[in-house]
Amino acid sequence: MTFTRRHFFAAGLATALPLRAFAHVEQSAEDWVVPEEFLPRPVRFSEPQTPGALIVDPDYFALYHALTERRGMQYSVGIGRGNLYESGAFTLGAKKEWPSWTPTRDMIARDPEQYAKWADGMPGGPKNPLGARALYLFDDLGNDTFLRIHGTPEPWTIGSAVSNGCVRLVNQHIIELYDLVDIGAPVLLLPKSEGT
């Protein structure tokens, strides 16, 4: 069997049960209770990882934060829908608390009715799509990719593929992760398996 980059990295991640998205019931973020299976949990890696690294496995809606070479934390995430999820190796280039948000040109083109009104940006706050914190992913040349790992005002979307390409966490979880990760940390967004 030929091992791809995905096999190499995925083999190093702890085995986890796939998360199933819960049926969305209209409610406020303040009233929503995080299901037990979506709570952060410690994991042990079967292969050494780079301490401080963030690794997203879209097949399991999971983000792993390597605390040491062999131990880390697993967080439940939402990912980009359809072909909007973008895999690759990145660097954490910036971090912001209660960040402002501006939809990309592609987002406005896909859904002008929803996004055009925010073309000049939306200030940070509880209703901002980036939630309480955002981690900004940069490419090898130091350019902002416009990919984010961020919070969400819609926590019930965790465990599903609904975003415009970014990785989202429950606000409480991104606040915790934000304080633990450093600028310059490597970030790996693994590709989706075929058929997912």
Specify the 3-state DSSP secondary structure of 138: strand
What is the structure's pLDDT at 41? 96
Inter-residue contact 99 to 134 (CB < 8 Å): yes
**Is 138 a residue whose pLDDT tops 50?**
yes
Architecture of domain 35-189: Beta Barrel (2.40)
166 annotated active-site? yes
Instruction: State the chain's mean pLDDT as an integer.
Output: 86
5 dihedral zone (left: phi>0; alpha: psi -120 to 50; beta):
alpha
Mean of the pLDDT values across residues 63-79? Answer: 97
- pLDDT class of 17 with cuts at 50, 70, 90: very low
Q: Catalytic residue, from 7, 24, 65, 150: name it.
A: 150
Give the span between the Cα atoms of 134 and 95, in whole angstroms.
Answer: 6
Closest CA to 167 of 178, 159, 175: 159
What is the structure's pLDDT at 196? 54
Among 4-8, 24-28, 115-119, name the one with the lowest average pLDDT. Answer: 4-8
150 annotated active-site? yes
Q: Catalytic residue, from 7, 24, 166, 173: name it.
A: 166
What is the structure's pLDDT at 130? 95
What is the structure's pLDDT at 140? 95
For 164-185, what is each residue's pLDDT tens digit? 889 999 999 999 999 999 999 9
- pLDDT class of 149 with cuts at 50, 70, 90: very high
**Is 24 a residue whose pLDDT tops 60?**
no
Mean of the pLDDT values across residues 4-32? Answer: 49
Give the span between the Cα atoms of 115 and 94, in whole angstroms.
Answer: 24
CA–CA distances in Å: residue 75 to residues 38, 109, 141: 7, 32, 28
